Structure 1
Amino acid sequence: MSASTPQPDRSIRPADRRVSARIGAIAESATLAVDAKAKALKAAGRPVIGFGAGEPDFPTPDYIVEAAVEACRDPKNHRYTPAGGLPELKSAIAAKTLRDSGYEVDASQVLVTNGGKQAIYEAFAAILDPGDEVIVPAPYWTTYPESVQLAGGVPVEVVTDETTGYKVSVEQLEAARTENTKVVLFVSPSNPTGAVYTEAEAEAIGRWALEHGLWVLTDEIYEHLVYGDASFTSLPALLPELADKCIVVNGVAKTYAMTGWRVGWVIGPKDVIKAATNLQSHATSNVSNVAQRAAIAAVSGDLSAVHEMRTAFDRRRKTIVRMLNEIEGVYCPEPEGAFYVYPSVKGLLGKEIRGRRPESSGELASLILDEAEVAAVPGEAFGTPGYLRFSYALGDADLAEGIGRLQKLLGEARD
């Protein structure tokens, strides 16, 4: 279990505390930090290949860009609009949700946010009181526990590993449940592991949550990125009786290669959406109107561009898994969704590599960046040391070159 929200040191005068305990406890996003470092090194002339950020290398589809260009010319988009989102976009999101997941919602159940991170924070902030516990399966995306704590809640980590395909069981969830448990986080496909729960596994977790009257927050941002025989399951569509205590977060970033456009959304019960909208009205007000107009084009259009990207990701997925598993001391399960691999590197820790003996995945990631000029995110960032996360949302040539460098460097590991 993670520590509860930090309390200020009462021995220090409030006027002398420069940063609040609540904000001071927030860790920097490890994935963005690794990406920023890789880009800074590239700007300095070093041939760094970055596997850190979960960002498609494809441009945003042309028809979406054209919608934004047109929106820029329309003066109505130069003004304030409703804090909770353009009515047209909220309706389009509701229609898209029914089309893609079979979950029928009204536009009044949608809040448009500045990306998925704001969606996650505002969802937790709307339902958590101080001390409420949220069960967070690990490995987890770095933002989840930080958002829980920022909202006053307590993240309770339930650790999974490669032996279970990085999937949590109902038995593990039950062992973590206490009288303070309010929410269980459910993410499929997963960042950082690419794990995808089967319909039966998802239903078991949903029924367990129902049995105990728990809320479920489910992140569906990678819904269209599944491979092979795997399939996406939307919990509130599968179990309609869960809908009254289920919050869905999603966005355009991954599906439509729109990470920089910053459009996400929250879907949930009307009272929760109203509360989260009130919060947003004071925090950021409306999302950029131009980005919202682009998002309307994205969610209303067909999925042909998405299918093309998924085909490329699938090819890269197979390549990176094969190449990583050729390295002695590395074990990389094949992910079924998203665009990440999460190999165990425990077999390399303590080995000598170019005069250094990394004892943690964090130290190994630093060595790899220094010696091979390849950037990956260590497992410490995701709550499970001993692993590295690689995003394969980069070009085929860079992927092969980067993992090839890794093979050469780590092939030198000695006892």
Structure 2
Amino acid sequence: MSKLPNVTSSIFSVMSQLANEHGAINLSQGFPNFPADEQLLQISERLVHGNIHQYTPMAGLPSLMEKIGKLTFQYYHRNINSSTELLITAGATQGIYTAINTFVNKGEEVILLDPSYDSYEPSVIMAGGVPVRISLNDDYSPDFNRIEAALSPKTKMIIINNPHNPTGRIWTESEFEVLESLLEKHPQILILGDEVYEYISFSQPHISFHTRPKLVERTIIASSFGKSLHVTGWKIGYLIAPENLMNEIKKVHQFLVFSVNSFSQHIISEYLDIVDFHAISKMYLQKRDLFRELIKDSRFELLPCDGTYFQLVNYQNISKQNDVDFSRELIAKHGVAAIPLSVFYKDGTDRNVLRFCFAKTDETLIEAAKKLKRV
């Protein structure tokens, strides 16, 4: 008997396969198609011959952990104890799965805000928990009336993805204040802050749970070097949480992966001495602006993009088809692959919106835009 009977091939795999079959430009894949930083590759080439290929300590390479601690202070003015409040994970998804399965018990509820990343619900189900999925407002801001109505003594956790995939929206100061007020009434609720796009923000600064003193002692924060350094295939991220929570997370982590691959930890530890995250954000801002400028005269309606490397568009001026069918047609007839937004909703909410990934070479974006302007 399947533990995940409703899980089938992901929409990402389906659209990528269709893109390959039709020779389409693939803007559905949520990862870059350009090389990693040359400096990162040079460090890799130099270190590969070193004595760095055995297990690191379970929680992570000490030098990398120390530098993450400094990075956290530099960007968020939060002092963490890197030896007791930090864990290197095999990607943020593994970190999220581990955190959920550490704290969520059978029958306990987890609030998910739709449209939501597809790994959340299966992780809750595997823990024996009950996913409670609540739709965001039409502008993808949190609907606090619905969130408050869903909170109960059974609620164990709320997952907040900020900056948000798939919409690219960033929470505001006032929204954090409302959340703080709500959760003050429910001290048993933990927060899982999925902040994997934290260093990719544009029109307004990313506000991290690291900076929220009323919430930080009950929050597990997931970060991703794969996203931040555009090396998604390395599958390396980290969790930061108060020591009492981290102690429990480590108990599960050690029997899940024990320790993350040593090679990438050593490389990133050295690379953190020279990388400029502001420059990475600026690079993605240029790509966002290029893509928006290229398709502004198309029949697609551009929606706001505060952060991440995803751009939403509305196609209601082009077709009344549902978004899955329109996405398939876009590939077959027009040669560009996107992700339909309805797949991120439990109830399949369809507002004729697609997600394009602009973490691509300028040449890819230019060629894709030519095709989209002919739609």
State the TM-score, normalizing by the size of structure 1.
0.82
CA distance in 2, matches of 1:195, 1:215: 22
Number of the residue aligned with 2:288: 317
Give the CA deviation at 1:36: 4.8
Give the match's secondary structure for 2:44.
helix
CA distance in 1, matches of 2:284, 2:100: 31
1:294-321 Cα deviation digits (max 9, x unpaired):
2212434341xx4444333223323433
Whether 2:58 is the aligned partner of 1:83: answer yes
Give the match's secondary structure for 2:350.
coil
Number of the residue aligned with 1:385: 350
Gaps of 5+ in 1: 1-19, 351-357, 410-415
Number of the residue aligned with 1:12: none
1:65-144 → structure 2 map (5 Å cutoff) = 65-75=41-51, 77-107=52-82, 108-144=84-120
Number of the residue aligned with 1:354: none
1:58-85 Cα deviation digits (max 9, x unpaired):
422233223333332222x222222221
Number of the residue aligned with 2:195: 220
- Percent identity between the two aligned chains: 24
1:142-178 Cα deviation digits (max 9, x unpaired):
222222222222222221244x3x1103223112223
1:254-293 Cα deviation digits (max 9, x unpaired):
2211111111111112233233222222222211100111
Label 1:211 to 1:104 Cα distance change in 2 as closer, same or farther (>3 A).
Answer: farther
Number of the residue aligned with 2:265: 292
1:194 alignment partner, one of 168, 185, 189: 168
CA distance in 1, matches of 2:242, 2:9: 31
Contact 2:43/2:271 (<8 A) preserved? no
Give the CA deviation at 1:325: 5.2
Contact 1:149/1:155 (<8 A) preserved? yes
CA distance in 1, matches of 2:309, 2:143: 23
Contact 1:129/1:153 (<8 A) preserved? yes
Label 1:310 to 1:237 Cα distance change in 2 as closer, same or farther (>3 A).
Answer: closer
Label 1:34 to 1:277 Cα distance change in 2 as closer, same or farther (>3 A).
Answer: farther
Higher relative contact order (CA 8 A, sep 6+): 2
CA distance in 2, matches of 1:281, 1:295: 21
Give the number of equivalent residue pairs: 369
2:310 alignment partner, one of 324, 340, 350: 340
Label 1:327 to 1:157 Cα distance change in 2 as closer, same or farther (>3 A).
Answer: farther
CA distance in 2, matches of 1:89, 1:71: 15
Contact 2:18/2:331 (<8 A) preserved? no
1:210-257 Cα deviation digits (max 9, x unpaired):
3322211111111111113x011112322x232221000001112211
Greater helix content? 1
Label 1:60 to 1:124 Cα distance change in 2 as closer, same or farther (>3 A).
Answer: same
Root-mean-square deviation (Å):
2.2
1:242-261 → structure 2 map (5 Å cutoff) = 242-261=215-234
Gaps of 5+ in 2: none
1:323-357 Cα deviation digits (max 9, x unpaired):
555444x433121111111223345443xxxxxxx
CA distance in 2, matches of 1:36, 1:279: 35
Number of the residue aligned with 2:209: 235
What code does the residue aligned with 1:178 have?
A: S
Contact 1:378/1:389 (<8 A) preserved? yes
CA distance in 2, matches of 1:332, 1:209: 34
CA distance in 2, matches of 1:235, 1:340: 22
1:273 alignment partner, one of 239, 246, 251: 246
1:4-23 → structure 2 map (5 Å cutoff) = 20-23=1-4
Contact 1:161/1:167 (<8 A) preserved? yes
Bigger radius of gyration: 1
Number of the residue aligned with 1:374: 336
CA distance in 1, matches of 2:272, 2:171: 24
CA distance in 1, matches of 2:339, 2:223: 23
Give the match's secondary structure for 1:134.
strand
Label 1:208 to 1:300 Cα distance change in 2 as closer, same or farther (>3 A).
Answer: farther
Label 1:279 to 1:25 Cα distance change in 2 as closer, same or farther (>3 A).
Answer: farther
Contact 2:294/2:369 (<8 A) preserved? yes
Label 1:47 to 1:35 Cα distance change in 2 as closer, same or farther (>3 A).
Answer: closer
CA distance in 2, matches of 1:251, 1:62: 20
Number of the residue aligned with 2:29: 53
Give the match's secondary structure for 1:21.
coil
Number of the residue aligned with 2:365: 399
Whether 2:178 is the aligned partner of 1:204: answer yes
Contact 1:349/1:361 (<8 A) preserved? no
Contact 1:252/1:298 (<8 A) preserved? no
